[in-house]
Chains A and B, each alone.
Chain A
Amino acid sequence: MTVVVRTITRILFPISLVFGGYVIMHGHLTPGGGFQGGAVAASGLAMVLVAFGAKRLAEKKGLLSALESLGGVAFAALGFLGLGLTFFANILARSGGLFGGPVPYGPNPGELNTAGTLPLMNWAVGFKVLAGLGAVVLLFALFGGENDR
């Protein structure tokens, strides 16, 4: 790809990652969440693929699949966290610890430190979607193109 595309990608790639992270982080307060944020971040990966070619990313395939598995494991493990009560029970909410703050009532700007295991699950799903969509796009790019025939 041309220098213009590459330069813009260099600028936009970190921004898309940060924005994806923001959408994941605020998933329990605003519209968005793990899947949406992960998809935004994965679009950054797709941009890099288009600008720099799939070959540069090909060796990262193992990393992506490991990250995807890790996201899945983390999500299921967070479900096990609630087993003292029931599976998926939100024991961190209103516990005072991590993400355990009290939820303010009425219109307010949103308190990040709430919702218990939900933000953690958002992160797990976010990583899974980022890695999964990234791997899919990478796979498509490797299918076609110059190494095809």
Chain B
Amino acid sequence: MSVHAPILAIAVPLLGGFAVPLLARLHRKVRDLWVLLVVLFVGVCVGYVAAHVFTQGIWVYVLGAKNPQETLAPGGFPIRIMLTVDAMSAFMGLIAGFIALVAFPFALKYIPEEEGKTLSLTLGILLLAGILGMAYTGDLFNFFVFLEVTSIAACGIIGFRTWTSRAPEAAFKSMLLFSVSGLFFLLGVALLYGEYGALNLAYVSAQIRGSVVDRLSLALFLAGLLMKAAAAPVHFWAPDAYGEAPAAKALLLVVNTQVSLYGLWRVLFTLYGGLSDAGVGWLVVSLGLLTMVVAALMALVQTDLGRLVAYGAVSQIGYMMLGVGVGLVALSGRPDYGFVAMQGGVFHMLNDALTVGLLFLCVGAVEWAKGTRDLRALGGLGHGLPEVALAFLLASLALAGIPPLNGFASKILIYEGSFRLSPILTAIAVLCSILLLAVFARAFQGAFLGPRGEVEGKIPWVFLLSIGLLVVGILVLGLVPGFFVEEIVTPAAKALWQGRALYLAAVLGG
């Protein structure tokens, strides 16, 4: 069975998601157990795939063929849909698997039975399947299909609480943006198909010559994926979406934006890696700066704890774009500072998933205990919920990049790389970090400090388990970043930085 691990990581949640409503008719406990089993299985699969890919190189899996390694049909043309898992894809899969392991136990307890728990679990598992599909696929059209799977599942998660007036509004806004983003991506794929007659990413990449049509479809890919990744100036759907989705599911939405960003890196470094245009790199860098500045400033004026954290999450997208964008600018000459920035940007994806995830879980716990997220109504929760308060403080400090936490470990790499390109970039990024620190200090003070606040009920141990897992992750990544940078971040960044030839060779041979 182990030869099928990449597809099982996608197919099992797909099957599992559809089976959830059926099992819910049997018994709720059966459904909950099934959800946990599926998520655990996915965790094992992505772990196995990552271990294999990091030690033995790119893993290609061809669907529907006689044997999974038969990439080329007779005639030397890749005709079947295939999964191409390189170190970057495996890294993305690891993030998604770990976040799912944390988020689903939390969600099982957090979402009330009468508020569409079955529906929300189904959509969550389908979203996980879509995310892993986007991370692992090596086919452009297949990527579009999984992009739409995540769009539809994500919008269902955002809007399923139809009895509130805000959730459908956020969901409509998101779905509009997601549709446009998906259609832009599809138009880009169609242009490339018309020119080269193929959909396989590696094959098309080998053919691309940089014609006008190629550049047009690059622009469409950029626009579509940046929209889905919540980069400014089209970030406005994200705070609504994160804020209105149940806190336990907002984590998966964050991973969804990250995997869209991963898709962008895949397009820029692998599909168009042969062209290496510094102008595109500067575009990504400047949009990244814009994202972090706008989001940090907007976070300053929020009075809703959920939306405040959501804006913090959006600002972190800017840091990833800055890090990898600097690498993209430097791609043609390949100086080392470009690679350092890329390491930082890639590492920041993992750190962002952990810190923002922890913040959302804390918001969820606060809402569970108090029934509101309005900062004006909260206060003094530190007495009743000391664990949550400590976790929130830790995550805020990590998000703002305070040493020795994990946010610092990745941001210092981004600063180091971008400083060598232009000190102005670093200055803006550091300023944004300070601004975020101020924002989150105010939020922490408003929600947790002050005279003792009323707390109804106890925080369930499952919440503390999920929160604890993320806290351990943040501490471990912050205290021994060197090990993780060496073992998983560097191979992932290298797969983008100079792995294009290997990627093509794995599919096309030679």
In the complex they form, whether A and B have CB atoms below 8 Å apart is answered with yes
Binding site for B on A (CB under 8 A): 65-66, 69-73, 75-77, 79-80, 82-83, 85-90
B62 contacts A86, C-beta separation under 8 Å: yes
When chains A and B are docked, how far (Å) is the Cα of A122 from the Cα of B266?
33
A86 contacts B22, C-beta separation under 8 Å: no
- A88's partner among B21, B25, B63 (CB-CB below 8 A) is B63
What B residues does A79 contact at CB under 8 A?
A: 11
B64 contacts A69, C-beta separation under 8 Å: no
Given contacts A82-B64, A86-B64, A86-B65, contact A76 B14 (CB under 8 A): yes
What A residues does B11 contact at CB under 8 A?
A: 76, 79-80, 87
The 5 A-B pairs with the shortest beta carbon distances in the complex, nearest first, are: A72-B18, A76-B15, A87-B7, A88-B64, A69-B21
When chains A and B are docked, how far (Å) is the Cα of A85 from the Cα of B63?
9
19 contacts between A and B (CB under 8 A): A65-B21, A66-B21, A66-B22, A66-B25, A69-B19, A72-B17, A73-B15, A73-B18, A76-B18, A83-B4, A85-B65, A86-B7, A86-B65, A86-B68, A87-B7, A87-B61, A88-B64, A89-B64, A90-B64
A70 contacts B64, C-beta separation under 8 Å: no
- A87's partner among B18, B19, B22, B63 (CB-CB below 8 A) is B63
Shortest Cβ distance from residue A80 to the other chain B in the assembled complex, whole angstroms: 7
What B residues does A71 contact at CB under 8 A?
A: 18
B22 contacts A70, C-beta separation under 8 Å: yes
When chains A and B are docked, how far (Å) is the Cα of A75 from the Cα of B18?
10
When chains A and B are docked, how far (Å) is the Cα of A72 from the Cα of B123?
13
Query: Other CB < 8 Å A-B pairs besides A66-B21, A76-B14, A76-B15, 9 of them?
Result: A69-B19, A69-B22, A70-B22, A72-B14, A82-B64, A83-B4, A86-B63, A87-B8, A88-B64
When chains A and B are docked, how far (Å) is the Cα of A65 from the Cα of B22?
9
Interface centre among A70, A73, A85, A87 (most CB of B within 10 A): A87
- Asked if B165 is at the interface (CB within 8 A of a chain A CB), the reply is no
When chains A and B are docked, how far (Å) is the Cα of A87 from the Cα of B67?
10
What A residues does B458 contact at CB under 8 A?
A: none
Shortest Cβ distance from residue A87 to the other chain B in the assembled complex, whole angstroms: 4
When chains A and B are docked, how far (Å) is the Cα of A80 from the Cα of B10?
12
What B residues does A82 contact at CB under 8 A?
A: 64
What A residues does B18 contact at CB under 8 A?
A: 69, 71-73, 75-76
- Look across to chain A and name the residue whose beta carbon is closest to the beta carbon of B70: A86
Binding site for A on B (CB under 8 A): 1, 4, 7-8, 11, 14-15, 17-22, 25, 61-68
When chains A and B are docked, how far (Å) is the Cα of A62 from the Cα of B14?
21
A86 contacts B19, C-beta separation under 8 Å: no
What B residues does A89 contact at CB under 8 A?
A: 63-66
What A residues does B19 contact at CB under 8 A?
A: 69, 73
Shortest Cβ distance from residue A114 to the other chain B in the assembled complex, whole angstroms: 17
When chains A and B are docked, how far (Å) is the Cα of A35 from the Cα of B55?
43
What A residues does B65 contact at CB under 8 A?
A: 85-86, 89
When chains A and B are docked, how far (Å) is the Cα of A127 from the Cα of B11?
20
What B residues does A72 contact at CB under 8 A?
A: 14-15, 17-18
Shortest Cβ distance from residue A136 to the other chain B in the assembled complex, whole angstroms: 13
When chains A and B are docked, how far (Å) is the Cα of A72 from the Cα of B18?
6
B14 contacts A85, C-beta separation under 8 Å: no
What A residues does B25 contact at CB under 8 A?
A: 66
What B residues does A77 contact at CB under 8 A?
A: 15
Shortest Cβ distance from residue A67 to the other chain B in the assembled complex, whole angstroms: 10
Given contacts A73-B15, A76-B15, A80-B11, contact A85 B21 (CB under 8 A): no
- Look across to chain B and name the residue whose beta carbon is closest to the beta carbon of A79: B11
B61 contacts A86, C-beta separation under 8 Å: yes
When chains A and B are docked, how far (Å) is the Cα of A113 from the Cα of B105?
46
Shortest Cβ distance from residue B142 to the other chain A in the assembled complex, whole angstroms: 12
Given contacts A66-B22, A70-B22, contact A85 B15 (CB under 8 A): no
- A85's partner among B1, B8, B17, B66 (CB-CB below 8 A) is B66
When chains A and B are docked, how far (Å) is the Cα of A76 from the Cα of B63?
13
When chains A and B are docked, how far (Å) is the Cα of A72 from the Cα of B8?
16
Shortest Cβ distance from residue A68 to the other chain B in the assembled complex, whole angstroms: 8
- Look across to chain B and name the residue whose beta carbon is closest to the beta carbon of A73: B18
- Look across to chain A and name the residue whose beta carbon is closest to the beta carbon of B82: A86
Given contacts A65-B21, A70-B22, contact A87 B15 (CB under 8 A): no
When chains A and B are docked, how far (Å) is the Cα of A65 from the Cα of B19?
11
A86 contacts B4, C-beta separation under 8 Å: yes
- Look across to chain A and name the residue whose beta carbon is closest to the beta carbon of B8: A87
Shortest Cβ distance from residue A78 to the other chain B in the assembled complex, whole angstroms: 10
Shortest Cβ distance from residue B276 to the other chain A in the assembled complex, whole angstroms: 35
When chains A and B are docked, how far (Å) is the Cα of A35 from the Cα of B317?
38
- A86's partner among B1, B17, B20, B67 (CB-CB below 8 A) is B67
What A residues does B22 contact at CB under 8 A?
A: 66, 69-70, 73
What A residues does B17 contact at CB under 8 A?
A: 72
Shortest Cβ distance from residue B130 to the other chain A in the assembled complex, whole angstroms: 14
- Look across to chain A and name the residue whose beta carbon is closest to the beta carbon of B65: A86
- Look across to chain A and name the residue whose beta carbon is closest to the beta carbon of B1: A83
When chains A and B are docked, how far (Å) is the Cα of A76 from the Cα of B125?
14
Shortest Cβ distance from residue A106 to the other chain B in the assembled complex, whole angstroms: 22
When chains A and B are docked, how far (Å) is the Cα of A79 from the Cα of B4?
12
When chains A and B are docked, how far (Å) is the Cα of A8 from the Cα of B486?
72
- Look across to chain B and name the residue whose beta carbon is closest to the beta carbon of A82: B64
When chains A and B are docked, how far (Å) is the Cα of A135 from the Cα of B100?
29
